[in-house]
Amino acid sequence: MEECVFCKIIKNEIKASIVFENDRFIAFLDKSPIFKGHTLLIPKEHIETLFDFPEDYLEELAVESKLIAEGVKKGTNCDGILLINNNVVSQSVPHFHVHIIPREKGKPLRGFMWPRTKYKDEVEEEGFKEKISKSIEMLK
């Protein structure tokens, strides 16, 4: 089986706008965000679904999800956060990932999560990366 795209990001074989990294997790901006600042948190170990997650790892997942969600909220100055995790159905990459999506009152999800958007350019994407990364650092 060909190595998954997220494993390639972990190994720096594919470029990603990384906002957080420690020895067990990495978080980066989604390339096709629902709203700008949409971040993915993944384990560095290749784990496909929540059902495959070792139980001792789940507490760390919850703690890091909270940290990244707080960083996204502060970094994007949004009103709230939507956390989503698909398992098998609608899971576009077979590597566990949590979607951390900034939400603003009055900006509804269209068709629940589609259509997605794009960053205007690398400069705009880098700006979101820096704001979120800085916010996460300040929260640690």
Q: Which residues contact 104 (CB under 8 A, 6 or more apart)?
A: 35, 78, 79, 80
Active-site residue (options: 38, 95, 97, 99): 97
Cα separation, 50 vs 86, in Å, equals 9
SS3 137: helix
Tell me which residue of 21, 25, 22, 36 sits closest to 126, measured CA to CA.
36
β-strand partners of 101: 82
Strands 25-29 and 98-103 turn out to be unpaired
Active site residue 97: yes
Residues classed as catalytic: 97
